[in-house]
Chains A and B, each alone.
Chain A
Amino acid sequence: MDDAEANVTVDFENIAKQFVEYYYKTFDSDRSQLAPLYGPDSMLTFEAAPSQGVATIVQKLVDLPFKLVQHQVATLDAQPSNERGGILVIVSGALLVEEEKRPMSYTQTFQLMPKDNSYYVFNDIFRLVYPAA
């Protein structure tokens, strides 16, 4: 693998990592600020409920019935996935809401697309995969 290709690899992996860190930091502090990460053609599927477009998606996230929330990322993996420079990002981790001590497991799949020297979430699928005990 030559240097140029290696750099590309570094790039998408770091982008994925930076994105995930930023996304959950924003989500956990003030999720209404997630708007810039989505675009008009973005699609969120949150626990089987689909939302499309920035406003709808952010509204959906803001309306979730909890105030305090904390995402704990356990795994993060990414692959280049799209002809236009897209990145497929898979996260698994734990979700703590309100004062609840027992975490819920979730998995989230992001498809990131480049746009104006940055990236936005083209596709976002969130699923809880472990019950609140």
Chain B
Amino acid sequence: MVARHNAPRAAAPRGPASQRRAKADRDGDVVMGVPFKGRGAVGKNTPTPTGPRKDALPRSSRGGILSATAQREILRKAGTSDMTMKEARPSVAKRGLVELKVTGWNKSKASGDADGGLSSLIKWLEKKGSTKLGSRVRSLKIRKFRTEGSDLIIKVMHEDAGALVRMNNYGWAGISIGIELMGGPVQDSAAPSSEAEKTKAMLRSVLERRYDFETKFLNLSGLGADEELKKQHIFDSKSTAGKFFPAMMRVLELSFDKPEERDAAVTSVSLANNDLEDLAVVSTLSLTLPKLQNLDLSNNKLDKLATLDVWRKRFYHLQHLILTGNPLEQNEPTYAQEVVSWYPNLLQLNGIQMRTEEEVAKKSKGTELPFPIRSALFQDEGGIAEQFVRTFFMGFDSDRTALAAHYYDDNSDFSYAVNTQAPSDPAGAEKIERGEWEGYIKNSRNMKKITQLPARQNRLFRGAKAVGDAFASLPKTKHPDLAAEARKWMIEAKMVPGVPDATGQSASGVDGFKITISGEFEEIDHASGQAKKKRSFDRTFILGPGTGPAVVRVVNDILTVRAYGGAQALEPDNAEGWNLEAAPQQQQAAPVEAAGQLPAGISLEIAEQMVAELTKQTGMTMQYSKDCLDQVAWNFEAGLEAFARVKDSLPVSAFMQPTT
């Protein structure tokens, strides 16, 4: 069990998601740190985190994000850039305190508190009135307060008044409280003036109310039931409903000076309970918050995986996704597997651990070069060959006895030969010394030199025990990391028929793999544990289906060891330099045909031109250009913008190698 032996897993998942738990404020306002709970927990009576409580609303009364009739144009200007995000400042004197009257508060659930709930109300007002979302975070302080009969009179800085006035009719501790400027709302100098400003302020207030600063969670669940949005008749018509979300995303973007601030401020979003049938209306979320880590899409009407397609290549950093309570769970039994494959950093799906952080770390390290393979030349099935290679060299470096017992059986053959004539790396410092091959030569089975039958036979090791012993006789090794040092490897795999069937059932043999590997390793000094010599090697395996603990068994294992010859020959780019054949045409062949569907109006020809042009303008490889365009629905300008956004984080391999 080499794999387990050598790859200890963390006992418990760690990560931001697991550190957060739902909690309730003293005021009874449930703040859910993260919308994500285990399967079964999500979907039923998920409390609405902040803002007006909706518990009282019967489910049927909720308007879906796409439902409804009537009112228009309210958001017409919302998405336009003429909106500024500066708080609408009172036009009158900025200094001094302003008095506001808070009504209705004394009938709350907190009224049983010693102070009638006063202190928790103050705390809540300060929290809610603070500007938490955006680059200009501002915490509101209530400077003075007194009660007048059943009213609470508070004094705040003038510039904070607007935020409080907008909280009029907010739900707190089971009741709705009224907040107004003393002297009446007519004198609400903080009120925004233009329609666009009003809309912006409204959207901003929705965002503020639904945002939890501490957990960086933006809860956009159950938008159809949001009292404030209902008041604005947002979902009464399709046109406003369709514009609402992008406008809100725009407002969110405008709240921050830099995209990095935005990404840092919001790491979790819930879109649960929105009756979403697809992601068309909300798709802009992935542009506004591309680095989102947690996303809740539970209890919508997503019925197929295809409905998620627009986000398939987005949210690269996604760690947790919730899809429970969607028809696709029933309709697509294998959806989980598929979804996990979309998001390389996904740790949890529906609260269930899908990968460990170690696995993700390993994977992401090699994102640009996931595995040192020549794509088409690595035929695999279910990752079996890849898994074997990964496990094998890890085991060979750490515990060869266990490795031999894991992958080899009575009929496995291993032999090796030392190529003492191979030249060493001209650029390298490795010198061939006397006795250079001492550790190897005893069992070297080079049939050019070993001509006697017994000598040949003695050097062919058959059976797990003999193989293990032969392994043990070889110097201790350290192979380069497959992911981090992919360029030091060249690996090909091929499916081959006629591999001996270990079960003996098929006389003509079974299908297996032939894997050929060229690479290098360091010899490790036993005593000191230090690397002392570099070697190059070539190794060929024939694998058949396993009968023991492993998925595969080694049928043949032939190794050639030679002086370290450098890794240049193994690098794909250098293959062209050999002059043995015309340079590979990979870069010229725009890989568009392999793409998914192109949007209407974009022919294959146009797509190829776009790929070529983007490659020209950005220096990215054709593949990256294609992927980039794919992600922006083949909008060239958007592709350039996307590139500008991510170019600093792209791996070197994303770019064309300079031609020399």
**A79 with B558: CB separation less than 8 A:** yes
Interface range on chain B (Cβ under 8 Å from partner): 35 or more
B500 in contact with A6 (CB, 8 Å): no
The reply to whether A107 and B566 form a contact with Cβ atoms under 8 Å apart is: no
User: Given that A45-B377, A131-B568 are known contacts, is A75 also in contact with B419, CB under 8 Å in the complex?
Assistant: yes
B487 close to chain A: CB less than 8 A: no
A81 CA / B445 CA spacing, docked (Å): 16
A103 proximal to B (CB < 8 A): yes
A37 to chain B, nearest CB (A): 18
Stretch with Cβ within 8 A of A (4 or more), from B353-361, B534-542, B588-596, B631-639: B534-542
Instruction: Tell me whether B377 and A130 are in contact (CB under 8 A).
Output: no
CB distance from B491 to the nearest CB of A (A): 11
Which single member of B500, B560, B582 contacts A83 (CB below 8 Å)? B500
Whether A4 is near chain B, meaning CB under 8 Å from some CB there, is no
Return B497 CB to nearest CB of chain A, in Å: 9
Q: Mark A58-94, 1 if CB is under 8 A from B, else 0.
A: 0000011110000011111111111110101010111
Instruction: Please tell me which stretch of B19-27, B250-258, B300-308, B501-509 contacts chain A, meaning at least 4 of its Cβ atoms lie within 8 angstroms of it.
Output: B501-509
* Contact assessment for B448 and A84 in the assembled complex, using a CB-CB cutoff below 8 Å: no
Is A121 positioned at the interface, with any CB of B under 8 Å from its CB? no
- Produce 1/0 per residue, B483-518, CB < 8 A to A: 000000010101010111100001111000010101
Chain A at the B interface: SS class? strand
Q: Return A21 CB to nearest CB of chain B, in Å.
A: 10
A82 with B509, Cβ < 8 A, contacts A10-B453, A77-B446, A77-B560 known: yes
Find the residue from A16, A82, A128 having the highest chain B CB count within 10 A. A82
Asked if B518 and A83 make an inter-chain contact with CB atoms under 8 angstroms apart, the answer reads no
Q: In this assembly, does A55 line the interface, its C-beta being within 8 Å of a C-beta of chain B?
A: no
In the bound assembly, the distance between CA atoms of A52 and B383 in angstroms comes to: 25
**Complex CA–CA separation, A49 to B419 (angstroms):** 26
With A74-B421, A75-B419, A105-B422: A127-B516 Cβ-Cβ less than 8 Å? yes
Q: Which residue of A lies closest to B447 (CB)?
A: A76
Say yes or no: B492 contacts A83, CB within 8 Å: no
Count of residues in A whose CB is under 8 Å from the partner chain: 55
B-side contacts of A32, CB under 8 Å: none
At the interface, yes or no: B118 with Cβ under 8 Å from chain A? no
Nearest-CB distance from A45 to chain B (Å)? 6
| Given A64-B580, A77-B417, A83-B509, A17 and B498 contact (CB-CB distance below 8 Å) | no
Q: Determine if B562 is an interface residue (Cβ-Cβ < 8 Å).
A: yes
A34 CB-CB contact with B under 8 Å:
no
B446 close to A76 (CB less than 8 A)? yes
Contact among B417, B538, B540 with A129 in the assembled complex (CB-CB below 8 Å): B538
Whether a CB of chain B sits under 8 angstroms from the CB of A33 is no
Instruction: Find A123's partner among B413, B494, B538 (CB 8 Å cutoff).
Output: B494
- Please give, as numbers and ranges, the residues of chain A lying within 8 Å of B581 by CB-CB distance: 46-47, 49, 63-65
Contacts of B426 in A (CB 8 A): 133
A43, B423: Cα distance in complex, Å: 29
Minimum Cβ distance to chain B for residue A44 (Å): 11
- B417 to chain A: closest CB distance in Å? 4
Q: Give the distance to chain B from A33, nearest Cβ to Cβ, in Å.
A: 20
Is A56 part of the contact surface with B, judged by Cβ < 8 Å? no
Look across to chain A and name the residue whose beta carbon is closest to the beta carbon of B565.
A130
Shortest Cβ gap from B488 to chain A (Å)? 12
The closest CB in chain A to the CB of B414 belongs to: A79
Select from chain A the residue with minimum beta-carbon distance to B462: A79
State whether B446 touches A75 (Cβ < 8 A): yes
Min distance, Cβ A133 to any Cβ of chain B, angstroms: 5
CA distance A93 to B568 in the complex (A): 17
CB-based contact B540/A109 at 8 Å: yes
6 further contact pairs, Cβ within 8 A, besides A48-B377, A79-B415: A1-B457, A77-B417, A113-B498, A129-B536, A131-B578, A132-B579
Q: Which residues of chain A have a CB within 8 Å of any CB of chain B?
A: 1, 6, 9-10, 13, 16-17, 43, 45-50, 63-66, 72-84, 86, 88, 90, 92-94, 97, 102-105, 107, 109, 111, 113, 123, 125, 127-133
25 A–B contacts, CB within 8 A, in A order: A16-B447, A48-B575, A49-B584, A63-B581, A73-B448, A74-B419, A74-B420, A75-B418, A76-B446, A76-B447, A77-B416, A79-B558, A82-B509, A83-B498, A83-B509, A90-B538, A97-B580, A104-B578, A105-B565, A125-B494, A128-B580, A129-B565, A130-B422, A130-B423, A131-B566
10 nearest interchain CB pairs? Answer: A83-B509, A75-B417, A130-B565, A107-B538, A75-B446, A74-B421, A74-B419, A79-B413, A77-B417, A90-B558
